Structure 1
Amino acid sequence: MQQKIVLIGGPGTGKSSILREFIRRGYECMPEISREVTLKAQKDGIDQLFLEQPLLFSQLLLEGREQQYLEAHQSDAEIIFFDRGIPDVHAYMNYLGSDYPDIFIEKSNKYLYNKVFMCAPWEAIYKSDNERYETFEQSVKIDTFLKEAYEEVGYNIIDVPFGSVQERCDFILHSLKHDV
């Protein structure tokens, strides 16, 4: 049976680095798509779509993450890792205090992951860039909204300890083998 594993956490917590290591180790991975959505909007003249039109941004993310989930479902891979999952979308809307359609929660309940691993805010590795505009303090706050959103859907969240990328990947794989 295929395992869909999602990595969550605020911006700059090391998720993408972990995913790159899993790719290097031969695992199938679904990358974070918010950078792609942000860069496309910037090409279309919208500097920060998430800030300027949060509902549109979130709808595009929801569509993209649903598509990733469906693509993963067609794969023969035993384990597929996701850099963020569908509940992230409404978690960010909650963080902003924005209203959103019920479909956001409905899709979070429809497309389920087998395990959720959370990378906590870690100031030592945090960096902002062109697509990651949040401060470290905002990353900490976002982290709490992510945890709440996933717990509301019914997930048991497994905390990934700080350490090297390799150590963090090893922890996740060990947890999967021993069904934490």
Structure 2
Amino acid sequence: MNTKRIVVTGGPSTGKTAVIEALEQKGYHCLEEVIRAMTLAKKAEESEVVFESNPIVSVTDPMAFNQMILNARVSQYESTLESTEKFVFFDRGIPDVLAYMDCFNQEYDESFTNACSLNRYDLIFLMPPWKEIHVVDNERFESYEESLRINECLERSYTDLGYNVQIVPKDTITNRVDFILDSVKNLT
């Protein structure tokens, strides 16, 4: 079977995880965001560090942290290579790593861009910033203004890699899921 790999991405507090959870409840195979567990582990490990913004600028070794995220996302992608599922949904994709690094002015080498070129997705959905649902909590440290910047970098990163990014309308979770499922019906 030719599994279709679909990314649902967006800045912090855009509703990605709620949409992924709703897709999962409908029986679709979904892969969760890898950075949540890594962020909690780093916060525990580096207890003296104050996380005031994205973890990639708060940890003591941002490049090592980014490499860890990249490796985890590539592993997630590779885990789907033998999949028999028609669709697999990812809560963020490999290019998100580049987008966040660009957003926070961090340099990366060609191993990061090569990972994006070698592991291609079939469809990209971008959840736009939504001020009314934006929150800062133990896993999301970015302000709404940072979320706007991240969104721009995400869209640019995927577009620069040749993807046609589909913007998911701000709506109820049910309507957002319906929008995504209506769009994936056209994948062959």
Please indicate the TM-score interval, normalised by the length of the shorter structure: over 0.9
Q: State how far apart, in whole Å, the 1-side matches of 2:70 and 2:186 are.
A: 31
Match of 1:174 in 2: 182
Q: State how far apart, in whole Å, the 2-side matches of 1:2 and 1:143 are.
A: 27
Match of 1:67 in 2: 75
SS in 1 for 2:5: strand
Q: 1:178 Cα deviation (Å)?
A: 3.3
Match of 1:25 in 2: 26
Which residue identity lines up with residue 131 of structure 2 in the other structure? E
Match of 1:44 in 2: 45
Which residue identity lines up with residue 159 of structure 1 in the other structure? I
Q: Given the alignment, which residue of 131, 135, 141 partners 1:127?
A: 135
Cα gap change, 1:74/1:178 in structure 2, threshold over 3 Å: closer, same or farther? closer
Structure 1 residues 107-126: aligned runs within 5 Å? 107-126=115-134
Q: 1:6 Cα deviation (Å)?
A: 0.2
Which residue identity lines up with residue 136 of structure 2 in the other structure? S
Q: 1:74 Cα deviation (Å)?
A: 2.2
CA-to-aligned-CA distance 1:79-98 (integer Å, 9 cap, x gap): 00000000000111111111
Q: State how far apart, in whole Å, the 2-side matches of 1:75 and 1:69 are.
A: 10
CA-to-aligned-CA distance 1:11-56 (integer Å, 9 cap, x gap): 1111100000011000000100111111111222254452233212
Could you tell which deviates more after superposition, 59-68 or 37-46? 37-46
Q: State how far apart, in whole Å, the 2-side matches of 1:55 and 1:132 are.
A: 20
1:136 and 2:162 are equivalent in the alignment: no
Contact 1:38 / 1:50 at 8 angstroms: preserved in 2? Answer: no
Q: 1:127 Cα deviation (Å)?
A: 1.1
Could you tell which deviates more after superposition, 50-59 or 95-104? 50-59
Q: State how far apart, in whole Å, the 2-side matches of 1:98 and 1:92 are.
A: 8
Could you tell which deviates more after superposition, 87-96 or 50-59? 50-59
Q: State how far apart, in whole Å, the 2-side matches of 1:99 and 1:80 are.
A: 30
Share of identical aligned residues, percent? 36
TM-score by length of 1: 0.95
Match of 1:106 in 2: 114
CA-to-aligned-CA distance 1:134-170 (integer Å, 9 cap, x gap): 0011000110011111011100001111111111000
Identify unmatched segments of 5+ residues in structure 2. none
Q: State how far apart, in whole Å, the 2-side matches of 1:57 and 1:166 are.
A: 34
Identify unmatched segments of 5+ residues in structure 1. none
